[in-house]
Amino acid sequence: MRILQLGPRCNNACIFCANALDRTAPAVATREWMERLAALVPTEELGVMGGEPTLREDLFDIVRHAKRLGVGRIVLRTNARRFTYVSYAQQLASAGVSGLDVGLYGSSPAMHDYHTDVPGSFLQTLRGIKHATAVGMNVITTCVVTRSNYRHLVDIARLAGSLGAQGVRFRAPEVIGRAAATRSRIVAPPELAMVHLRRVRAQAQRSGLDVSIDRALTVAVDGSSGVQAVDMDRTAKAWPARQEQRSRERRSGDELRDILPSLFDSSEDES
Amino acid sequence: MANLGYLQLVRHCNQYCRICSNPETPWVLDLDAAIRALDDFAQRGYAGVILTGGEPSLSEIVEPVVMHATQRGLSVRMITNGSRLADKSLAQRWIEAGLRHFHVSLYSSRREVHDHITCVKGSFDLARHAIRNLGEGGAVLNLNTVINRFNCDHLHELAQLVVDEMPWVSHVVINNLDPSMGRAETNRQALHRLVDMEVSLHKALGILTAGARTFRVERVPLCFMVDYAHCSTETRKIIKAEERIIHFLDEKGTVRQTSFRHHKAAVCAHCSLDPICAGLFEMGHGFDETELAPVFVDPAAIIRRVLRQ
């Protein structure tokens, strides 16, 4: 599949977005996408992506132009929110879009909307997937696996299947853009995510759902932790605490009233 | 509810742990003050008292304190580094005196790491002798450990050691490092990232579960122990509305702790476990809030499990 990039503009604000820092870049002008497209053909399959490609009002022109140039199959990488309008789905299908690759990052509104940072996006995306499949498009979903959703991968795959998706792709976040700033918050530990990915595979075998898993999800990202990173010889000396008072002096008896007055006061009140 | 009081008997110690959160002061609890505290715990209906320190086994009033506490109906336990209880006769004497529940601190399955943390060569072997003496003497035995940079990648080895070689240890207490006070503040090499401990901690808790050991984990936010959220000390206290009183032998003095909530990050507002999670102890002082991530599991199942136990 060859990819046509239409610029970073998007109506989601995903926490792991690799394009987030380029959002101010201008939209790709008509002449530019025509030149890019000309350089990609001939191709049997064309992926069209942004940002969010459905925000472009000239998307129909792009799709029709690609078909005129002989592209066989056109797949949009999209959040599918605009497909919440069934008429939009019908028009794009008629123009020649044959499939969608939809970002689905959670099995519940709270989980998905946290990842997109747009309240309500989950319900719009779900409706969009339903409408796309209803007008005959092939849909697969892509889930970027994070610390906040890795425990629910089976549920996410099951949900995608129930909406008519033919396949589910699980992808590791690219640690660039927004994800780079909060890497620890986003990147799931492969050792823990692996269990859930195995369950997804097992479930997919039973249900017939096509599942693909990025290799990066099954490999430990880095090993910079713990004892390996510490030279114990160089840290042999321990420093005293700031408030530490080390001496052979022992303070007890009445002096304890200085630090534990409540212990003595309450008892004296009773007597 | 099972509220427990904490009594620091002394604040000196025969180890020099670089992670110690209660370092040395000159104060020593005498029997008069100890009895006042024990009577207060009993009047409040507390279930028991934990003798701690410093190293409480260095106190000269252990036996009369145990006797008085027992008379007042309080269960008594001691948190110790085990160095003195490596002496079998002392271990036996205290067990016979009524002190039948011990928490022995062991920071690693690796001798060199434990000794490095305590700054005392041979402390690993002494702790293991104490565990054996107390276990064979019939005491209830718990193991305490503190997560830090030196052990955070092999906590699971310690759990495996407990299961394989310490049949007497029934319960393990795992505390995340307190980075803001005590020696961890001046020995910053001991500070780890939460993500550095996550996998090993998860493995450790799995090993303990499979080995039929119970455990509690303190100061670890629930996003780092989702599968074992019901074993978070703070979460259990939040759910059960428990409290604790600690008599510190320093300027903090007597602290009655009824709130077990620490700091939260803005993203915690998205988290389904937010109402029952304490958050991150001393966030920003040593731990980074960008390590916290919301999770979306069902809190009701966790609450039911805590209340059932």
| Residue A229 confidence (pLDDT) | 57
- Look up the CATH number of the domain holding residue B187: 3.20.20.70
The C-alpha atoms of residue A92 and residue B99 are separated, in whole angstroms, by 78
| Residue A226 confidence (pLDDT) | 44
Q: Would A180 be classed as within a structural domain? A: yes
Give the nearest chain A residue to B114 (CA atoms): A232
List chain A residues with CB under 8 Å of B20. 241
Q: Would A158 be classed as within a structural domain? A: yes
Structural domains counted in chain A: 1
pLDDT band for position A235 (cuts 50, 70, 90): low
| CA atoms within a 13 Å half-sphere pointing along the CA-CB vector of B140 | 13
The C-alpha atoms of residue B185 and residue B74 are separated, in whole angstroms, by 35
Encoding tokens for residue B300?
């009701």
Q: State the smallest CA–CA distance between residue B14 and chain A in angstroms.
A: 12
**Candidate from A111, A244, A249 with C-beta closest to B296:** A111
Q: Would A68 be classed as within a structural domain? A: yes
| CB of B30 less than 8 A from some CB of A | yes
List chain A residues with CB under 8 Å of B250. 243, 259
Q: Would A119 be classed as within a structural domain? A: yes
Q: What are the percentages of helix, strand and coil residues in chain A, rounded to 5?
A: 50, 15, 40
Question: Residue A135 corresponds to which amino acid?
Answer: V
**Contact status, residue A16 vs residue A171, Cβ threshold 8 Å:** no
∠ at Cα A220 (A217, A226), nearest 5°?
145
**Candidate from A114, A252, A262 with C-beta closest to B30:** A252
Give the nearest chain B residue to A150 (CA atoms): B295
Flag if B291 and A238 touch (Cβ within 8 Å).
Answer: no
pLDDT in tens, A185-233: 999 999 999 999 999 999 999 999 999 999 888 775 444 444 555 677 7
Nearest to B126 by CA among B105, B99, B154, B97: B105
| CB of B191 less than 8 A from some CB of A | no
Give me the interface pTM, i.e. the ipTM: 0.87
| Residue A228 confidence (pLDDT) | 56
Q: Would A259 be classed as within a structural domain? A: no
Q: State the smallest CA–CA distance between residue A15 and chain B in angstroms.
A: 11
**Candidate from A238, A241, A251 with C-beta closest to B27:** A251
Q: A162 lies in which domain range?
A: 2-222
| Residue B301 confidence (pLDDT) | 96
The C-alpha atoms of residue B144 and residue B291 are separated, in whole angstroms, by 25
Q: Would A214 be classed as within a structural domain? A: yes
List chain A residues with CB under 8 Å of B192. 225-226
Whether the pLDDT of residue A268 is over 70: the answer is: no
Task: Indicate if the alpha-carbon torsion angle B60, B63, B66, B69 is positive or negative.
Answer: negative
Q: Would A75 be classed as within a structural domain? A: yes
The C-alpha atoms of residue B2 and residue B75 are separated, in whole angstroms, by 11
Whether the pLDDT of residue A270 is over 90: the answer is: no
Whether the pLDDT of residue A144 is over 80: the answer is: yes
- Interface size, chain A vs chain B, as Cβ–Cβ contacts under 8 Å: 163
The C-alpha atoms of residue A12 and residue A172 are separated, in whole angstroms, by 19
The C-alpha atoms of residue B61 and residue B65 are separated, in whole angstroms, by 6
The C-alpha atoms of residue A128 and residue A134 are separated, in whole angstroms, by 10
Question: Residue B252 corresponds to which amino acid?
Answer: K
Structural domains counted in chain B: 1
Q: Would A267 be classed as within a structural domain? A: no
Residues 6+ apart with CB under 8 A from B300: none
List chain B residues with CB under 8 Å of A181. 290
∠ at Cα B78 (B73, B83), nearest 5°?
150
Flag if B195 and A225 touch (Cβ within 8 Å).
Answer: yes
More confident residue, A223 or A93: A93
Q: Would B94 be classed as within a structural domain? A: yes
**Contact status, residue A81 vs residue A125, Cβ threshold 8 Å:** yes
Backbone angles phi, psi at A239, to 5 degrees: -90, 150
**Candidate from B27, B33, B189 with C-beta closest to A263:** B33
- Look up the CATH number of the domain holding residue A191: 3.20.20.70
Q: What's the predicted TM-score (pTM) here?
A: 0.91
Q: State the smallest CA–CA distance between residue B166 and chain A in angstroms.
A: 24
**Contact status, residue A240 vs residue B23, Cβ threshold 8 Å:** yes
Q: State the smallest CA–CA distance between residue B123 and chain A in angstroms.
A: 15
Whether the pLDDT of residue A25 is over 80: the answer is: no
SS3 call for B259: coil
Over range A174-178, report the average pLDDT: 80
**Contact status, residue A179 vs residue A186, Cβ threshold 8 Å:** yes
Flag if B288 and A240 touch (Cβ within 8 Å).
Answer: no
| CB of B113 less than 8 A from some CB of A | yes
Flag if B293 and A192 touch (Cβ within 8 Å).
Answer: no
Q: B60 lies in which domain range?
A: 4-260
Which element (helix H / strand E) includes A213?
A: strand A210-213
Encoding tokens for residue B196?
């550095």
Average pLDDT, chain A: 89
Q: Which residues pair with A99 in a beta bridge?
A: A75, A138
**Candidate from A146, A236, A263 with C-beta closest to B254:** A263
Tell the residue number behind the tokens 């998706």, with chain if given.
A165
Residuewise pLDDT in 10s, chain B (309 residues) = 689 999 999 999 999 999 999 999 999 999 999 999 999 999 999 999 999 999 999 999 999 999 999 999 999 999 999 999 999 999 999 999 999 999 999 999 999 999 999 999 999 999 999 999 999 999 999 999 999 999 999 999 999 999 999 999 999 999 999 988 789 889 988 999 999 999 999 999 999 999 999 999 999 999 999 999 999 999 999 999 988 899 999 988 999 988 888 899 999 999 999 999 999 987 767 888 999 999 999 999 999 999 998
